[in-house]
């Protein structure tokens, strides 16, 4: 690969050109926090503030890291059979390294995170002599999207290069699943900003409550009438000795006939905790993630947690993977007949060992899977005689051993 050619093509991409207009996204120049409308609770929800909510951070990382961790491959389907094109020129870009700095998986993870936080993720397919040699991530704020009202053509402009219009075939655009115009994605954070604002508010209240022990834990009663100065002195001494997390649990010493009566846990406290749990569920809904995967386990069991793991792949990841496969395929494969990009999700839906063994055995017996197919799924090397599709239990001479034969072999051993 000629490094000077790559450098020159990247320079041309960012070189300024004359333009009549440029489209600037709402979060350009890092002004998202100033331009984002406030919520009913007067809390400004931006991508940065939202990521300080643990449930949001986990949901974003869960989706993005899952997309980045899945093996990707280029395949060609022909007459019902599927061939993995390991020798395809673009195979390394989607299976190994997208460029000199990012692996293919890490690039997908970053693009998914951009779409989740800002609504859209962008990458540039850098070509040398017509062939894509690397894929470069672009900052979401660096790209403006414009839809021509008459033709419906989508234009991508580089805000930092005088509004230069990029060739659409070189732009890999990953929008969030929700879009109001069919092109520009809308971040789940913006769609659910009221729910996230409530979570931020409750988090702040809980922190203040326990940070200085602001919630009265009890009341001090005196049998005799106390003067105002005495009450101030006792109150100051009590706060100095028992207020704050570092003083929690210290023994209280009272004099002058004082009696401390603790407050019990009220229904208001229980409701506050229930509201915090409900906000986790609301955030899970916004991102399309099962609540149990955000560790809200109040209604979780082993059975439905495993089922929700499969639902995560089917209903949460599938739309994202379809977008990635389509956009990467459009930029890297073009009009190549029969070739497409797919992701292997088997690792995310793997069941327990017994169920997995039973499934493989049934597929082998039905002639759907060869021994080498099964060994490949289990991470084992191929066997010289492992490519036959006939069942090992029905082929003549390969019948399953009888119980009597097994007992004789065990006795002989």
pLDDT (tens digit, 9 = 90+) per residue, 32-60? 544 455 788 888 899 999 999 999 999 99
What is the helix (H) or strand (E) element at residue 205, kind and residue range? helix 193-211
Which residues, 6+ apart, have CB-to-CB distance to 68 below 8 Å? 105, 106, 107, 108, 109, 110, 112
CA-CA-CA-CA torsion sign (24, 26, 31, 35): positive
Distance CA 396, CA 392 (A): 9
Lowest mean pLDDT among 9-23, 26-40, 98-112, 301-315: 9-23
Residue 161 or residue 11, greater confidence = 161
3-state secondary structure of 145: strand
Beta strands in 10-153 (DSSP E): 72-78, 81-84, 120-128, 131-138, 143-147
Tens digits of residue pLDDT in 247-294: 555 556 566 666 766 656 565 566 778 888 999 999 999 999 999 899
Task: Report whether 135 contacts 98 (CB < 8 A).
Answer: yes
Q: Which two tokens stand for residue 369?
A: 């899977």
* Band of residue 397 on the pLDDT scale cut at 50, 70, 90: very low
Distance CA 45, CA 56 (A): 12
Please tell me the predicted confidence (pLDDT) of residue 61: 98
Closest CA to 281 of 267, 272, 293, 271: 293
CA 17 to chain centre: 37
Distance CA 74, CA 329 (A): 9
CA-CA-CA-CA torsion sign (41, 47, 51, 57): positive
Residue 406 or residue 330, greater confidence = 330
* Band of residue 101 on the pLDDT scale cut at 50, 70, 90: very high
Distance CA 279, CA 25 (A): 29
Distance CA 79, CA 324 (A): 25
Residue 95 has pLDDT above 90, yes or no: yes
3-state secondary structure of 320: helix
Residue 132 or residue 33, greater confidence = 132
Distance CA 400, CA 364 (A): 13
Residue 267 or residue 335, greater confidence = 335
Please tell me the predicted confidence (pLDDT) of residue 233: 77
Closest CA to 59 of 346, 67, 275: 67
């Amino acid at each position: 690969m000629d490094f000077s050619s790559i450098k020159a093509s990247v320079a041309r991409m960012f070189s300024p050109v004359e333009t009549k207009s440029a489209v600037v996204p709402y979060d350009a120049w890092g002004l998202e926090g100033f331009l984002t409308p406030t919520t009913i609770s007067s809390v400004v929800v931006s991508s940065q503030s939202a990521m300080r909510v643990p449930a949001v951070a986990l949901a974003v990382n869960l989706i993005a890291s899952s997309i980045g961790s899945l093996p990707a491959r280029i395949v060609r389907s022909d007459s019902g059979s599927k061939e993995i094109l390991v020798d395809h020129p673009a195979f390394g870009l989607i299976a190994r390294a997208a460029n000199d700095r990012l692996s293919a998986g890490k690039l997908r993870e970053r693009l998914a995170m951009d779409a989740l936080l800002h609504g859209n993720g962008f990458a540039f397919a850098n070509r040398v002599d017509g062939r894509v040699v690397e894929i470069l991530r672009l900052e979401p704020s660096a790209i403006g999207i414009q839809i021509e009202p008459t033709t419906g053509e989508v234009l991508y402009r580089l805000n930092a290069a005088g509004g230069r219009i990029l060739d659409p075939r070189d732009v890999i655009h990953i929008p969030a699943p929700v879009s109001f115009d069919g092109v520009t994605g809308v971040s789940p954070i913006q769609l659910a900003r009221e729910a996230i604002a409530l979570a931020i508010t409750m988090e702040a209240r809980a922190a203040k409550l326990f940070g200085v022990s602001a919630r009265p834990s009890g009341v001090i009663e005196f049998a005799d009438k106390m003067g105002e100065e005495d009450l101030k002195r006792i109150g100051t001494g009590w706060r100095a000795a028992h207020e704050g997390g570092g003083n929690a649990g210290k023994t209280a010493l009272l004099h002058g006939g004082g009696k401390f009566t603790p407050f019990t846990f009220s229904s208001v406290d229980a409701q506050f905790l229930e509201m915090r749990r409900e906000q986790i569920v609301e955030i899970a809904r916004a991102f399309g993630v099962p609540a149990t995967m955000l560790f809200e386990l109040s209604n979780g069991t082993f059975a439905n947690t495993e089922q929700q793991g499969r639902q995560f792949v089917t209903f949460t990841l599938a739309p994202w993977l379809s977008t990635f496969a389509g956009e990467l395929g459009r930029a890297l494969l073009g009009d190549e007949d029969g070739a497409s990009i797919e992701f292997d999700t088997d690792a995310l839906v793997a069941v327990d060992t017994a169920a997995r063994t039973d499934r493989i055995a049934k597929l082998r017996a039905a002639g759907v899977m060869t021994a080498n197919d099964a060994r490949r799924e289990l991470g084992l090397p191929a066997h010289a005689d492992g490519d036959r599709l006939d069942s090992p239990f029905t082929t003549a001479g390969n019948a399953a051993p009888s119980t009597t034969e097994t007992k004789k072999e065990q006795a002989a051993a």
